[in-house]
């Protein structure tokens, strides 16, 4: 029996149904949303905030202290509106968590 040739990373990433491709697609989506987030909020707040996940209709943002979490929570209605107007129409919630760097 012939030995199966190992798959390359590029092959794994380009498989239409592969788990790695799905993970890479999720990472690309998070990066896109993160860039959009940083363009839509105050530059000072932007330094303390990042997108960490998007699950179904919930965007999860992390900040590095409770102070920034409070400031960001006040902006959630405007952020939801902004993201819905910019292609994320199914977004229903934004959760803010504290994750110190």
Architecture of domain 9-98: 2-Layer Sandwich (3.30)
Element (H, E) at 49: strand 49-55
Residues 6 or more apart whose Cβ sits within 8 Å of residue 74 = none
Question: pLDDT per residue over 46-82, tens digit each?
Answer: 999 999 999 889 999 999 999 999 999 999 999 999 9
DSSP structure class, residue 44: H
Considering only residues 84 and 3, tell me which one the structure prediction assigns the higher pLDDT: 84
Question: pLDDT per residue over 14-40, tens digit each?
Answer: 666 778 888 888 899 999 999 999 999
Phi, psi of 13 (to 5 degrees): -70, -25
pTM value is: 0.80
| Residue (of 48, 36, 51, 43) closest to 81 by Cα position | 36
Does the pLDDT of residue 10 top 90, yes or no? Answer: no
What ranges do the domains of the chain cover?
A: 9-98
Instruction: Return the pLDDT at 13.
Output: 62
Partners of 61 in the beta sheet?
51, 96
């Amino acid at each position: 029996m012939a030995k199966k040739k190992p798959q390359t990373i590029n092959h794994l990433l380009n498989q239409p149904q592969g788990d790695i491709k799905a993970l890479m697609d999720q990472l690309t989506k998070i990066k896109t949303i993160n860039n959009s987030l940083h363009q839509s909020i105050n530059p000072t707040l932007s330094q303390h905030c990042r997108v960490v996940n998007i699950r179904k209709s919930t965007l999860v943002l992390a900040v590095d202290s409770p102070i920034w979490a409070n400031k960001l929570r006040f902006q959630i209605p405007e952020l939801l509106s902004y993201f819905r107007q910019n292609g994320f129409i199914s977004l229903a919630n934004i959760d803010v968590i504290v994750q110190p760097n």
